[in-house]
Structure 1
């Protein structure tokens, strides 16, 4: 048997079932074809974070119960174009190939992570979101407090207090929430205390809602509650629907704060795949002296879907604009 040249090849040869998840800007499933193409250096990573492709790979040997799955959390370094830098991955593959004859499963699958420079430990929120999505995909039941979280957020009469819940139960419910429950939740957003609303919003940043009533409820709460404004904005701007894009435009219509500009980049960047919105956003960050314009632009340009639009917007910046002034201030090479 030939040595595997990618992790995808290794999983095939070792007869391991592998489900890949993004752990970068959002926690969500990664298409297997995209991961393979990335490994084969045929495409840039679609969701880079600080120069890395952060993934979780949920593994279990074929024919074994899904409950025996283990998780690899790996951060692959990227080059300036968002492509894989293969050397660290290749070193990891060599370690794996040494154990390939054992057809690893269970705890043996964790051995290659020991002292592995690619491995990292995600924060608790990320792990809760990962477990919730992986358990649903693998057909496993949610956590024990799932029903309590559902009852609390939908306002059922016998709901427990917020204090009895945890991040895992909230993540499990958000992953499995249907449209009818989202509409019921929309009616509860205005009355939710700060802590449970913030927890909900942190989940919705990664699990964007397409329910217009919920997006409108978050917008209204953001407008009336300054202390929860940023949390609500992060959740609603993550949504792909037109109402969320309209909120981004409303933010740009006024003097956008540094915090709001950061939220747009982190959670609403997909709404910048629009020539006018992108140009206005770049002008806004150019007008913010507290922001490092170069780093902000570089962060956006790392996203493959925005790289060319950003380059074109910079090239077409009008004379006298803040963007043109910032570009003129850059050192000449």
Structure 2
């Protein structure tokens, strides 16, 4: 057996073609060149999220036509830790590879591959929304048929929503995700706009969470910015931010964002919804606008939670290639508040907890 020194070597050994997607911050197809570079530690992992690489590996037999991938292929969901430089932790990666090789040697390739991730510490299961969006994006790229849930969503949005106020409860997440995957198609853009403006809040939230994986046309951006200005529900405000997160920071967003973030010296629990959305989904916005970054860090430093939220978000932003330098420039500044300076001094004294 040839020496296996990378994930690519592993898949080549078993005769599989592999296509990688990142499922961390957003769902993003990884180019073959990017895959080679991070797999062999030539470059940092391009889409770090919570100090891990969240990978969907689509495996198919080298002789299988791509159109039958969903029926005959295998999808692995892998969560691999990153080192301080943002590269794959090679020790962990090699341990994972060895565990797969051992299973194949004992059970044969077919059974070994199908059972490869059973009880594996490196496997993860995407949540329902993320799985629905992944299948919607994958299905659109492979030009497969939409689900029956999609038809139900379209029928719902084409009808007068006020006539059937409870009909939204019958909609499936998969159909909403399939609609979001078609945000740039002229046939469906008006229906998405109608949903954002008129649908039940639960539908709006689910749609926004699916839209976060798309680069949106101007017409949808416009209505989301308008809703962010007018809607006072903190959960929906965070959803609107998430929906816009794949796009660059629009200057029209600054006023509503500064408005909803409010005072530098107060951070109520309802404020954390938008802060979490900005830090988790929009680090490129924070990197491009130091004032927005400063407001978030000041507010977190003023929370009475033992700096738990502050430490968690600092750890996340310091791992992101775009925000690492702006963050540490801010935290080392002589012009920050005493409360933020104190938070910086305590940054490594406790283990970060979870921000809900």
Which structure 2 segments of 5+ residues have no match? Answer: 350-356
- The more displaced of 258-267 and 54-63 is 258-267
Aligned CA distance change for structure 1 residues 238 and 248 (closer, same or farther; 3 Å):
farther
Contact 2:195 2:203 in 1 (8 A): no
Aligned counterpart for 1:248 among listed residues 242, 249, 257 = 257
Cα distance, 1:126 vs. partner?
A: 1.7
SS at match of 1:19: strand
Q: Tell whether 2:148 aligns with 1:140.
A: no
Aligned residues of 2:20 and 2:57 also touching (Cα < 8 A) = yes
Q: 1:271 — aligned with what?
A: 285
Alignment pair present for 1:94 and 2:98: yes
Q: 1:272-328: per-residue Cα shift (whole Å, max 9, x none)?
A: 122343334333333334453233211111112222222222223416554334334
User: Is 1:125 matched up with 2:132?
Assistant: no
- Per the TM alignment, residue 73 of structure 1 is displaced from its structure 2 partner at its CA by 0.9
1:311 aligned partner? 328
Task: Decide whether aligned partners of structure 1 residues 328 and 192 sit closer, same or farther in structure 2, where only a CA change above 3 A counts.
Answer: same
TM-score normalized with structure 1 length? 0.84
**Residues 307/230 of structure 1: CA separation in 2 closer, same or farther (3 Å cut):** closer
1:262 equivalent to 2:276? Answer yes
After TM superposition, the runs of 4+ consecutive aligned structure 1 residues lying more than 6 A away are: 100-103, 157-160
Matched, 1:34 2:34: yes
Is the 8 Å Cα contact of residues 46 and 303 (structure 1) preserved in structure 2?
Answer: no
Moved more, 20-29 or 243-252: 243-252
Q: Secondary structure at the match of 2:3?
A: coil
Over the aligned positions, Cα root-mean-square deviation in angstroms equals 3.2
Q: What is the SS of the residue equivalent to 1:113?
A: coil
Instruction: Give the deviation of 1:167 after TM superposition.
Output: 1.0
| TM-score, scaled to structure 2 | 0.79
Report if aligned partners of 2:137, 2:181 keep a CA contact under 8 Å in 1. yes
Instruction: Name the SS for the 2:140 alignment partner.
Output: helix
Counterpart position of 1:283:
298
- Whole-angstrom distance in 2 between the partners of 1:141 and 1:82: 38
Distance 1:194 1:330, change over 3 A: closer
Contact 1:286 1:323 in 2 (8 A): yes
Q: Aligned residue for 1:210? A: 216
- 2:231 aligns with 224
Measured after TM superposition, the shift of residue 90 of structure 1 is 1.3
- Structure 1 residues not aligned, in runs of 5+: none
